[in-house]
């Protein structure tokens, strides 16, 4: 992976620079603020990542939502946490901070027929906390304003001025369901700054853990869709499968969610050959049970009827909202970070795509099955022989901020900011790290859920209120990842 390029811009040139990047085939990855300014991350057409940094002494910056629509929540978060006013972003609704006045964060209800349905933050099942406000006529949804961040713990700010080895636990605490994806993106970001490159052995362990996480999450999400239509038998089988994989995760890493299994620059996981063989056999059994259960779901027409044509995101909308992960691929966007990856073992990887992705609940459901089978294949290929503890090798010497060398142009340098990009179960997970020596200046986690929540709210429009749980489950986004 090439290093992240830091480009210092003035607030007048920032927008133009970003526009040129995007016109050249670049992709918006995320935006965050810090005490001195804002930073916008873009992936160039060649796969290199640039950090466009812009100082905001007067707490003012130009908005980029017209250039990158999915920067909407990023700018609202930057406003709430760091008080940045985004010129052109109107209205700049609160996101993290909860204002009690409805008008500040919802669209005003107009007309005689529509009424509001308010749900949450506490829900009827075992679900994370979040509040939804639907505008409804009869059962038809006209509009949805989600309010998350009930679980905002301020993990990013709390991680500041900690040593980078200590700060990984703050990133890990964000979300247990994505613990490997999140901490791995953090580790890659740190290694990007420190100039470290994972050895083959380390990459193997990390790829294995990441795919195990994908397997249990996808199994969980398929079960969740069964629960979403009230199919108890499907939910029960997939609950069983999730449990079996979680036991495997414990066998490999010592923790059922593989927490604390990723470290910066190394891995201490050791598994002997016979246990590896056991795990391989067990996963084979799990896969067999999964396949036969899946076939039954495919031929259950009552069940399938509920999924088709519900919660559609067109390819056009998916592009606009930059939908990532299985949800994006179910709308025909083939992007998968594993194809661009050079720090893990995904050589020549190409994600399976549906023949006719239509962007509905069924497509997202079917896409998961395709990816699950690929994940089983990858894991089974990696499970050969002992797993030994491993380290990184130095790609280039670690630098202090004073030793940075400039590349390309006078105002760009590498070595202060690092970005890790990982394909988690729900899609692209990004972690940006800024170090001052070995101390965290700023860490920012932008998970796939953060990106996709915006699209989820959009795709409920025109659907029936009783289908919302199903649409929600077809994304199965985390709240914890978003709220941090």
Binding residues vs another protein (CB under 8 A):
98, 121-122, 124-129, 149-155, 157-158, 169-170, 173-177, 220, 233-234, 236-237, 239-240, 242-243, 246, 256-257, 259, 289, 292-293, 295-297, 300, 478-481, 483
C-beta of 53: minimal distance to another protein in Å?
24
C-beta of 172: minimal distance to another protein in Å?
8
Decide whether 295 or 396 has the Cβ nearer to another protein: 295
Peptide bond into 230 cis (omega under 30): no
C-beta of 242: minimal distance to another protein in Å?
7
C-alpha distance from residue 93 to each of 80, 98, 125, 478 (Å): 9, 10, 29, 22
Sorted by sequence, the CB contacts under 8 Å of residue 218 that are 6+ apart come out as 326, 368, 369, 371, 372, 375, 425
Decide whether 52 or 245 has the Cβ nearer to another protein: 245
Decide whether 70 or 447 has the Cβ nearer to another protein: 447
Percent helix, strand and coil across the chain, each to the nearest 5: 45, 20, 35
Q: How far does Cα 13 stand from its chain's mean position? A: 29
Sorted by sequence, the CB contacts under 8 Å of residue 470 that are 6+ apart come out as 225, 228, 229, 306, 307, 310, 311, 361
Using CA atoms, how far apart are residues 59 and 277, in angstroms rounded to an integer? 57
C-beta of 167: minimal distance to another protein in Å?
10
Using CA atoms, how far apart are residues 17 and 411, in angstroms rounded to an integer? 13
Decide whether 255 or 319 has the Cβ nearer to another protein: 255
C-beta of 94: minimal distance to another protein in Å?
12
Strand ordering across the sheet containing 266-267: 196-198, 390-394, 266-267
Sorted by sequence, the CB contacts under 8 Å of residue 406 that are 6+ apart come out as 412, 413
Residue 402: is it exposed, middle or buried by C-beta count within 10 angstroms (0-12/13-18/19+)?
exposed
The torsion region of residue 293 among left (phi > 0), alpha (psi -120 to 50) and beta comes to alpha
C-beta of 82: minimal distance to another protein in Å?
13
Decide whether 49 or 155 has the Cβ nearer to another protein: 155
Radius of gyration for the chain, computed over Cα atoms and rounded to the nearest angstrom: 22
Using CA atoms, how far apart are residues 323 and 454, in angstroms rounded to an integer? 9
- What's the distance, Cα to Cα, between the start and end of the chain in Å? 27
Q: Which of 134, 470, 137, 475 is nearest to 308 (CA)?
A: 470
Decide whether 256 or 458 has the Cβ nearer to another protein: 256
Decide whether 140 or 256 has the Cβ nearer to another protein: 256
Instruction: Please give the structure tokens belonging to residue 431.
Output: 């972690």
Decide whether 299 or 355 has the Cβ nearer to another protein: 299
Decide whether 14 or 257 has the Cβ nearer to another protein: 257
What are all long-range contacts of 119-122, with beta carbons under 8 Å and residues at least 24 apart? 121/150
C-beta of 38: minimal distance to another protein in Å?
20
C-beta of 449: minimal distance to another protein in Å?
10
C-beta of 389: minimal distance to another protein in Å?
23
Any bridge partners for residue 196, and if so which? 394
Decide whether 52 or 155 has the Cβ nearer to another protein: 155
C-beta of 478: minimal distance to another protein in Å?
6
C-beta of 239: minimal distance to another protein in Å?
3
C-beta of 256: minimal distance to another protein in Å?
7
Decide whether 244 or 339 has the Cβ nearer to another protein: 244
Decide whether 260 or 319 has the Cβ nearer to another protein: 260
C-alpha distance from residue 148 to each of 139, 181, 197, 223 (Å): 23, 21, 37, 24
Using CA atoms, how far apart are residues 140 and 465, in angstroms rounded to an integer? 6
């Amino acid at each position: 992976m090439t290093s992240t390029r830091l480009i210092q811009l003035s607030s007048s040139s920032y927008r133009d620079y970003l526009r040129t990047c995007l016109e050249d085939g670049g992709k918006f990855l995320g935006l965050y603020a810090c005490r001195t300014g804002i930073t916008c991350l873009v992936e160039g057409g060649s796969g290199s990542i640039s950090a466009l940094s812009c100082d905001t002494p007067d707490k003012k910056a130009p908005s980029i939502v017209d250039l990158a629509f999915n920067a909407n929540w990023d700018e609202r978060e930057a406003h709430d946490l760091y008080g940045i006013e985004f010129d052109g972003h109107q209205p700049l609704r609160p996101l993290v901070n909860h204002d009690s006045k409805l008008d500040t964060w919802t669209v005003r209800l107009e007309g005689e027929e529509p009424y509001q349905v308010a749900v949450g933050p506490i829900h009827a099942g075992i679900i994370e906390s979040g509040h939804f406000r639907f505008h409804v006529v009869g059962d038809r949804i006209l509009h949805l304003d989600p309010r998350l961040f009930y679980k905002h713990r301020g993990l990013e700010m709390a991680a500041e001025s900690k040593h980078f080895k200590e700060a990984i636990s703050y990133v890990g605490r964000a979300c247990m369901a994505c613990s490997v994806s999140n901490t791995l993106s953090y580790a890659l970001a740190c290694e990007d700054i420190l100039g470290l490159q994972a050895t083959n052995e380390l990459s193997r362990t990390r790829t294995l853990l990441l795919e195990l996480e994908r397997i249990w999450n996808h199994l969980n999400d398929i079960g969740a869709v069964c629960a979403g239509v009230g199919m108890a038998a499907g939910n029960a089988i997939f609950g069983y499968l999730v449990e079996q994989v979680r036991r495997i995760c414990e066998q490999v890493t010592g923790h059922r969610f593989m927490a604390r299994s990723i470290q910066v620059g190394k891995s201490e996981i050791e598994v002997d050959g016979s246990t590896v063989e056991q795990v391989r056999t067990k996963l084979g059994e799990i896969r067999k049970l999964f396949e036969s259960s899946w076939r039954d779901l495919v031929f259950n027409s009552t069940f399938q009827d509920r999924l088709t044509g519900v919660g559609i995101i067109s390819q056009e909308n998916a592009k606009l909202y930059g939908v990532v992960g299985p949800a994006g691929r179910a709308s025909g966007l083939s992007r998968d970070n594993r194809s661009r990856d050079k720090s893990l073992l995904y050589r020549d990887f190409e994600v399976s795509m549906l023949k006719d992705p239509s962007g509905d609940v069924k497509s997202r459901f079917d896409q998961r099955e395709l990816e699950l089978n690929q994940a089983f294949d990858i894991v089974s290929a990696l499970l050969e022989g002992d797993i030994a503890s491993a380290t990184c090798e130095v790609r280039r010497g670690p630098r202090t901020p004073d030793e940075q060398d400039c590349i390309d142009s006078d105002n760009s340098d590498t070595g202060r900011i690092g970005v890790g990009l990982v394909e988690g179960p729900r899609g692209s997970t990004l972690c940006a790290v800024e170090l001052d020596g070995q101390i965290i200046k700023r860490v920012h986690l932008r998970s796939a859920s953060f990106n996709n929540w915006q699209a989820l709210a959009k795709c409920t429009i025109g659907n029936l209120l009783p289908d919302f749980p199903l649409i929600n489950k077809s994304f199965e986004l985390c709240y914890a990842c978003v709220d941090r």
